Amino acid sequence: MAQNRTKPRMRPDQTLLLAASAVALASWFVEPLRFVLIPLIYLNTHLHELGHAAAAFASGGLAQAIYVYGDGSGQTPVMGGNALLVASAGYVGTALLGGLFIAMTGNEKGARHSLLAMGASLGLSMLFLVRGDGIGLASGLFWTAVAFASSKWMRGQALMFLARFLGVQLCLTSAEAFGSLYAASREGLHSDAAILASLSGIPALLWASAWLLLSLAIVGVSLRKAWRSAA
């Protein structure tokens, strides 16, 4: 007797992960959607610089301030701390945060807690560390408000979609930033990789390559966990 075999249906959280990834990718390649990237670039810069600051404090140093500028660049003057950890924490830290958002937001509770944690981190950094021009400051306030407001008023799949969309976007923006890092490393310009090259003697391009491979591994593990985990 023939048996009817039905294909396993995707779970809702898997569907949301695919949808968030598709929209995130579309925003990079569909011209009318590229306006979405502007505030996300500011968010990535803010979190990148916050990674430097957190690594400085964690390794016994001091972050004097975080500067986020309207052109999407940033800077974090640091005194002391572990130079390897501090310089690496920007790019790798942003990819790690994006990976955590992807991996931990397969249910409403995880999405809410992730956004609350991001809002609290951004809010504290705005109070004590962030400086810069008006656009950079406004962006920090905007994303702090978005994180808290969405965690309070959004529900269910909409909340999960937002959290996973942000996670995928952080990973994509980090990947794009590596392109700029490679260009700076090849041309000998100032960058996080150049700082470590001057300290260690290891070429900046190798540092940039190592960070990229580590970040890709983080994203790959996070996507695998998110796809397999139950909602």
Residue 121 lies in a domain: yes
In a domain, 2, yes or no: no
Assess whether pLDDT exceeds 60 at residue 5: no
Whether pLDDT at 1 is above 70 = no
> Has residue 104 been placed in a domain?
yes
Is residue 40 pLDDT above 80, yes or no?
yes
Q: What's the predicted TM-score (pTM) here?
A: 0.84
Look at residue 50 and tell me if it is in a domain: yes
Instruction: Give the span between the Cα atoms of 65 and 126, in whole angstroms.
Output: 10
* Phi/psi-derived region of residue 154, left when phi > 0, alpha when psi is between -120 and 50, beta in every other case: beta
Residue 29: what pLDDT? 67
pLDDT digits (tens, 9 = 90+) for 51-90: 999 999 999 999 999 999 888 889 999 999 998 899 888 8
Please provide the size of the chain in residues: 231
Choice between 17 and 207, residue whose per-residue pLDDT is larger: 207
**Environment class of 156 (CB within 10 Å of its CB; exposed 0-12, middle 13-18, buried 19+):** exposed
Q: Which range marks the domain in which residue 92 is found?
A: 12-228
Instruction: Look at residue 3 and tell me whether its pLDDT is greater than 60.
Output: no
pLDDT for residue 10: 72
Q: Is residue 7 situated within a structural domain?
A: no
Instruction: Output the pLDDT for position 30.
Output: 72
What pLDDT is recorded for position 222? 83
The whole-chain average pLDDT of the chain stands at 83
Distance CA 189, CA 169 (A): 26
* Cα-trace Rg, the chain: 19
Provide the number of structural domains found in the chain.
Answer: 1
Q: Is residue 83 part of a domain?
A: yes
Q: Most confidently modeled of 6-10, 50-54, 131-135, 176-180?
A: 50-54
Q: The tokens of 11 are what?
A: 């779970």
Check if the beta carbon of residue 44 is closer than 8 Å to that of residue 174.
Answer: yes
What's residue 231's pLDDT? 47
Residue 89 in any domain: the answer is yes
> Could you tell me if residue 1 is inside a domain?
no
Q: What is the pLDDT of residue 178?
A: 67
Query: For 180-217, how does the pLDDT look when each residue is reduced to its tens digit (9 = 90+)?
Result: 776 776 666 677 778 878 888 888 888 878 877 887 78
pLDDT top residue among 202 and 141:
141
